[in-house]
Structure 1
């Protein structure tokens, strides 16, 4: 269901771009703007800019842009209404609904809200079972206390217990007014195969771990059995639902995100109890993959908060080797990876309970190994007296290095690998180039729009010319005109109400000079029409006006227009007495030149079209038409000559 305009406007007025973005990525001030590594793509150098003055963000790497609402939509993967609701909750704004939504929209909205509500109901019931029932206390609570979990930790992670009965949750939830359909869709109950009337609880006789989204809402559960029943799995997890996609979620991220950001490191473990135990040891920057293989989205989730990951492994060499793919994925995701291995037979949970908090933290600090050193140590013992296994060790290490996207970092690791492997650096580099070339050969074989640097050719079958950049195609008159239309709109949006004379504003001059001219680019024509419409209504259509529109295309384009990757420091003038010209210093000259450039681009496009018409007429043998079009071409070239004279340029057609 859609939200009222009043709620939306309150959120737009209250939401601060710096506060919102800083909840997800750490921002650093540089000049007038704030910068960070982009949360939407992998990068080493910050190209993600936030402008508190303009209340916008812009990534100069991937092109992502928008306001605070758009940022929440993109980073959380949610719709406009959900973003508004999330921001309303952040700022304590009451949410009012608009009852004009379509039936389909109402149904989808209600289902998601019902799923959130029923998951919260289940969390509260499991928690109550744990603390207030004899069964929960004797089985579930005693298990948690045996592991050292205190009351504060139980509350922090919403731990609970599912009663050992077929339908406790089912009966309690339906009695409270929750529908069976939503309980089924939420994965909380199951339907007996062959008997639709028989429904029963998914979680029974197990301790329960609540899985939260980044906003802290319960969205799923993991439940552990406490008996040695070999017929049942040790853990049962919620299925995928409309609010829970396991490939996008890491257990404990809600509780860990602030600590990950402040420590600039994320510990990655396997299970729920590992996460909770580490919190008890004073280490809060920890998340778990919950026993599943790492996914690309989970890695992106970590990268929102830090570039550094330390993977914690149980002391089982065979198990470690089986899970090494995770390290390669982390490297491929642009993260810096270290690893810690616990003594044989221990995991983070058991070892922290065995040695205590202080010794546990000391162990992590002293035993963290760079991924190369870790891999070499892992294979070193068995490869010591076996040349074939030693060769395999080299290939395993170089394979991981090849996953690193940054070429400078790769080069550093090649040098370090060669040193640790006691091999010539050239041999390691040759093996790396072989792996890189194998992965990129197909890419190089295809035509490219622009040159992508990579390894040099390593075999005689690849011609040198294939690695040279292709010549950039010349822009058409249509593309050049689009660029000029955009530039005029940028001036309108940025300086529209600045004066260029005593009684003339930039917007008045530009609009008078263009008259009824229609822009050829549909998006720019739409922005121009909206600008004129706002003026007629007595509204100042500056950048903020367009950013607050609900048209995402217009909003994005205006943000791109007003965003500059580089800004000139005021210290140039204040401290160093270096003075440079800015376009705002002489707006009358700037606007005069831009309107004439636009006219020139329009005329150039008309010239190209007229030349094409002459060619068609010649091919058809229509002499009269050729003559008429030649007269038009002469007039257009005369106009072009006059405009070039005004601009002080010499340009012939």
Structure 2
């Protein structure tokens, strides 16, 4: 467990811009930073990071919070895991006692699997570096591929001993459970027992975008691959690893991708490693699987520009073709580079210097139109086949979401293909219309459209009333979060005749107490009570306190309340004084009372309609109605309403 003092030390050292930049490409926007939101399919930058408030927020999907909230949501990790991540980043020592059995259970399988994978990664790497067989067999293999020692360390490459249960025995000796060795895929259970999955193989660990080991790839060494179809064995899908969600090399590449504003997509592990050795670090691999929407969206957080760098054989051409439309549909700018037939990035890099490799890439990459034109129309004279090829190119253009980019490509297509631009536009519109006419997924069962025959005017009126109440409550608690500690009354006279000074939180709490009111939303009440409780503390700042709150729900709510939906330039910013803040809070309290009293009037009115035969009750209700009406009218007068 991590103590409070260490947590405070971690939070004091944390810079949210540094943290978010690990996963999202940010650009300066006034006093803040903006980027594509990593939590939804963001086409335009809607994710704002505020260094002054130390919070982030997406104006489109509403996700956000402090650095810990961001890490928990983005990496799907627990609160303690997020703290450890930050402690590691800022070199803060975290001393923890050994967890009890109950605490280990609470941490869950995910954390246990990450711990086992981290240990296995170090185990394989140590075998490669220090074991006699590891150095003689494993290291010799990597060196035969031209892989330098610094690259071996950078990618934590390793070697698994040929003994079928070497890792299993060592893991048991270290106290790791068979359950997690099997769940991670490091071992498998057969008819005669449990065995190592990667025995006798060169090991390539998979790191996710935050640097956690999620899986492994193991390659049979060259001498053992004759007649063997399956050279590579990969970890099976698990709770922490889904192959179509991950990209090999993303952790080592993400900073270079942002710096270069471009990413190279290759096919295999050794292709990534070879390009790193050439000094091209902005490279990832999808390792033989079809490019998925999850992988594309991960890359889109860092850049919009991608170069598909594949072998020039039939398989490489097919891989480039099948990924192009998906990339275009997600708003990526796509270029393609096919290496000379028979070469992949690994073999090509070994035949050329790093400078020659970089020059070849710069000189030979083409946009997707040229790639498809060369591929589909080269040597084609048959009119029907030519029409099919042009249709394929236009269909690719039609999926581009940005209409200006789409129009620019169509103009370029018209020039290159010798086809009238108006004809291409017409065909593009047909493809777009066809896509729109495809059946959409059914509406979720828990979000049913209202039935027009059963929705009454009273239902609508009630919904409007509820929304009005909720909005005033939100605005009130927003003032508590933003300005809770600010004094707005120096000489407020209370009901018992005392003169006191009050800040925003104390005033709202006092007014609620006078009328026995409370927020309908429980979190609002928690925030109000904590703001009042800490008001006397020197240096207390409500906004900083609640946006950095250890309760994730409170910190996320406070973040939403602390952020303005519209960012004004400095010359247009609205300044507030103690006087204007007091007026705003008082007006909101009057609004809240006005709504509450209005609701009471409606309740009494309903009771009058149902009590026609009881004269005694009618008299009581009429008196209550008149008294409440006077209060309602007085509140309306103060608010300037009829």
Q: Same fold (TM over 0.5)?
A: yes
Alignment match, 1:469: none
**Aligned match of 1:144 in 142, 145, 153?**
142
Unpaired stretches in structure 2, ≥5 consecutive residues: 445-459, 492-500
In the aligned structure 1, how far is the partner of 2:99 from the partner of 2:125? 38
Q: Is the 8 A contact 2:134 2:161 kept in 1?
A: yes
Confirm whether residue 25 of structure 1 aligns to residue 24 of structure 2. yes
- Flag the 1:115–1:478 CA change in 2: closer, same or farther, 3 A: closer
Q: CA offsets, 1:77-132, max 9 Å, x none?
A: 212121111112222233344789772x5136375555445434443443344455
Alignment match, 1:543: 543
- Flag the 1:347–1:586 CA change in 2: closer, same or farther, 3 A: same
**Aligned match of 2:349 in 342, 349, 352?**
352
Alignment match, 2:159: 161
Matches of residues 573-652 of structure 1 in structure 2 within 5 Å? Answer: 582=576, 586-613=580-607, 632=624, 635-648=627-640, 650-651=641-642
Alignment match, 1:74: 73
Alignment match, 2:86: 87
Matches of residues 368-407 of structure 1 in structure 2 within 5 Å? Answer: 368-381=365-378, 384-407=380-403
- Kindly state the Cα deviation for residue 75 of structure 1 after the two structures are TM-superposed: 1.6
- Flag the 1:177–1:522 CA change in 2: closer, same or farther, 3 A: closer
Q: Is the 8 A contact 2:26 2:35 kept in 1?
A: yes
Alignment match, 2:479: 491
Alignment match, 2:269: 272
Q: CA offsets, 1:549-597, max 9 Å, x none?
A: 343333222211110143333346xxxxxx9665767223223322222
Q: Is the 8 A contact 2:478 2:561 kept in 1?
A: yes
Matches of residues 458-473 of structure 1 in structure 2 within 5 Å? Answer: none
**Aligned match of 2:230 in 214, 233, 248?**
233
Q: Is the 8 A contact 2:488 2:579 kept in 1?
A: no
**Aligned match of 2:416 in 417, 420, 424?**
420
In the aligned structure 1, how far is the partner of 2:98 from the partner of 2:315? 59
Worse-matched range after superposition: 343-352 or 437-446: 437-446
**Aligned match of 1:433 in 424, 429, 434?**
429
What value does the CA root-mean-square deviation take over the aligned residues?
Answer: 3.4
Q: CA offsets, 1:26-56, max 9 Å, x none?
A: 3333333222222222334322111222221
Matches of residues 234-249 of structure 1 in structure 2 within 5 Å? Answer: 234-249=231-246
Q: Is the 8 A contact 2:159 2:202 kept in 1?
A: yes
Matches of residues 42-441 of structure 1 in structure 2 within 5 Å? Answer: 42-97=41-96, 103=102, 105-107=103-105, 109=107, 112=110, 115-132=113-130, 135-137=133-135, 139-175=137-173, 177-193=175-191, 195-196=192-193, 199-225=194-220, 226=222, 227-317=224-314, 319-321=316-318, 323-381=320-378, 384-441=380-437
- Flag the 1:589–1:188 CA change in 2: closer, same or farther, 3 A: closer
In the aligned structure 2, how far is the partner of 1:499 from the partner of 1:169? 64
- Flag the 1:203–1:640 CA change in 2: closer, same or farther, 3 A: same
- Flag the 1:168–1:434 CA change in 2: closer, same or farther, 3 A: same
In the aligned structure 2, how far is the partner of 1:445 from the partner of 1:129? 51
In the aligned structure 1, how far is the partner of 2:489 from the partner of 2:521? 30
In the aligned structure 2, how far is the partner of 1:388 from the partner of 1:632? 85
In the aligned structure 1, how far is the partner of 2:280 from the partner of 2:111? 34
Q: Is the 8 A contact 2:257 2:263 kept in 1?
A: yes
In the aligned structure 1, how far is the partner of 2:94 from the partner of 2:441? 55
- Flag the 1:285–1:378 CA change in 2: closer, same or farther, 3 A: same
- Kindly state the Cα deviation for residue 542 of structure 1 after the two structures are TM-superposed: 0.9
- Flag the 1:479–1:303 CA change in 2: closer, same or farther, 3 A: same
- Flag the 1:324–1:124 CA change in 2: closer, same or farther, 3 A: same
Q: So what's the TM-score if we normalise by structure 2?
A: 0.85
- Flag the 1:314–1:611 CA change in 2: closer, same or farther, 3 A: farther
Q: CA offsets, 1:481-518, max 9 Å, x none?
A: 11011111112222233233444434244333333212
- Flag the 1:600–1:541 CA change in 2: closer, same or farther, 3 A: farther
Aligned partner of residue 594 in structure 2, secondary structure: helix
- Kindly state the Cα deviation for residue 251 of structure 1 after the two structures are TM-superposed: 1.0
Q: Is the 8 A contact 2:485 2:541 kept in 1?
A: no
Unpaired stretches in structure 1, ≥5 consecutive residues: 449-472, 573-578
In the aligned structure 1, how far is the partner of 2:600 from the partner of 2:430? 53
Alignment match, 1:567: 567
- Flag the 1:336–1:616 CA change in 2: closer, same or farther, 3 A: farther
In the aligned structure 1, how far is the partner of 2:229 from the partner of 2:314? 27
Q: So what's the TM-score if we normalise by structure 1?
A: 0.83
In the aligned structure 1, how far is the partner of 2:511 from the partner of 2:122? 67
Worse-matched range after superposition: 250-259 or 90-99: 90-99
